[in-house]
Amino acid sequence: MNNNDQDGYDETLYKFAEYRETNVRQPVEHYTIHNCMLKQFLDKDGLLTGKRVLDLACGHGYYTRELKALGCSYILGIDESPTMIALARDSKWHCSEDIEYMVADVKSLPPLQSSFDLITAFYLFDYAQTSDELLSMVRFIYAQLGESKTFIGVIGNVTGGKDMFNNRKYGITRETKLPFDGDLLPDSTEIIVTMYDTQDMPMCSFSNYHYSPTTYEQVFKEVGFKTFQWVPYQCDPNDPNGTFFEDLIHNAPSIGIIATK
Ligand SMILES: C[S@@+](CC[C@H](N)C(=O)[O-])C[C@H]1O[C@@H](n2cnc3c(N)ncnc32)[C@H](O)[C@@H]1O
């Protein structure tokens, strides 16, 4: 997103919040996050009972609310955009009670007082403009996690080739000014992401930045994470729209990360 929040209102961010609530690929992302990433950390009742959770780049709180609904004891959502945090606190977007929100830039945030059992970041790393910025984000996460605790994140897919850039059928395209060298892009390459509404009309565009899978793996290792795992987009085998999502699974625009301290 751009950071043009001075007037207290940013059209791009507001549009993104709308897109998040309506986009056609949401069932696949929901299944991937809940069934392929979070599930292994839930208790026998399928909950995060007693857990302290931190949701970074929380935007208007879409996933923060889903995490809160899993019964964690405390949840804090952080986003650098005052517009997004204002939306997150707005009851128009469902109940925001019992969720704490903070406006802050993850790259330069001093350590918080207490550690967390689970840290999530859905589309944070895509905003690191340099590998040093990526390192700062991952360092902050590591410092805030309790011992042997887990980080779960989603980013624009960096493991596939150029085919995954055109997902117009699913409401998202990504473009780069640089030509691809085979399927490779240099680190820090700017990616213009455009989101489309259900009528196939552009809703908003913003810049993300590419880092290779190796860079991600190295950064997590350098910071001290013991494990790092890529989690591909997956569709619920019982989804009646499974056939519609086949191309999305083959050329997924996003990918998950699970890393343990
Ligand atoms: C694509 S939105 C995703 C929001 C939310 N996680 C979701 O999936 O609905 C990315 C968010 O990252 C936030 N963001 C980008 N860089 C950030 C940073 N350095 N610190 C905190 N938030 C950041 C933006 O303000 C924006 O709200």
Residue 64's domain spans which residues?
A: 11-260
Number of domains into which the chain is organized: 1
How many other C-beta atoms are found inside a 10 Å radius of the C-beta of residue 133?
Answer: 18
126 assigned to some structural domain? yes
**What is the CA(83)–ligand 1 centre distance, in A?**
11
60 assigned to some structural domain? yes
**What is the CA(80)–ligand 1 centre distance, in A?**
7
- In this structure, the residue with its CA closest to atom 11 of ligand 1 is 57
> Ligand 1 test: best mutation among 79, 120, 125, most atoms within 8 Å of CB?
79
5 assigned to some structural domain? no
The answer to which of 12-16, 85-89, 118-122, 183-187 has the lowest mean pLDDT is: 12-16
- In this structure, the residue with its CA closest to atom 16 of ligand 1 is 127
62 assigned to some structural domain? yes
Pocket of ligand 1 (CB under 6 A): 1, 16, 20, 57-59, 62-63, 78-81, 84, 105-107, 122-124, 127
174 or 181, higher pLDDT: 174
Residue 81 CA, closest ligand 1 atom number? 25
Residue 124 CA, closest ligand 1 atom number? 12
103 assigned to some structural domain? yes
2 assigned to some structural domain? no
1 assigned to some structural domain? no
Q: pLDDT tens digit string along 82-135? A: 999 998 998 665 665 689 999 999 999 999 999 999 999 999 999 999 999 999
SS3 150: strand
Residue 1 has pLDDT above 60, yes or no: no
Residue 160 maps to which CATH number? 3.40.50.150
Residue 4 has pLDDT above 60, yes or no: no
Q: pLDDT tens digit string along 27-42? A: 999 999 999 999 999 9
- In this structure, the residue with its CA closest to atom 8 of ligand 1 is 122
Q: Could you tell me which residues are beta bridge partners of residue 54?
A: 76, 119
Q: 139 phi and psi, to 5 degrees?
A: -60, -45
The C-alpha angle with vertex 216 and arms to 178 and 102, in degrees rounded to 5, equals 100
Amino acid identity for residue 145 in this structure:
L
Residues counted in the chain: 261
Tokens of 140: 């902050």
What's the half-sphere exposure (Cβ side, CA atoms, 13 Å) at 90? Answer: 13
Q: Could you tell me which residues are beta bridge partners of residue 166?
A: 173
Residue pair 12/2 in contact (Cβ under 8 Å)? The answer is yes
**What is the CA(124)–ligand 1 centre distance, in A?**
5
Rg over alpha carbons for the chain, rounded to the nearest Å, is: 17
253 assigned to some structural domain? yes
Q: Which residues contact 28 (CB under 8 A, 6 or more apart)?
A: 233, 234, 235, 236, 245, 248, 249
Amino acid identity for residue 38 in this structure:
L
> Ligand 1 test: best mutation among 11, 20, 84, most atoms within 8 Å of CB?
84
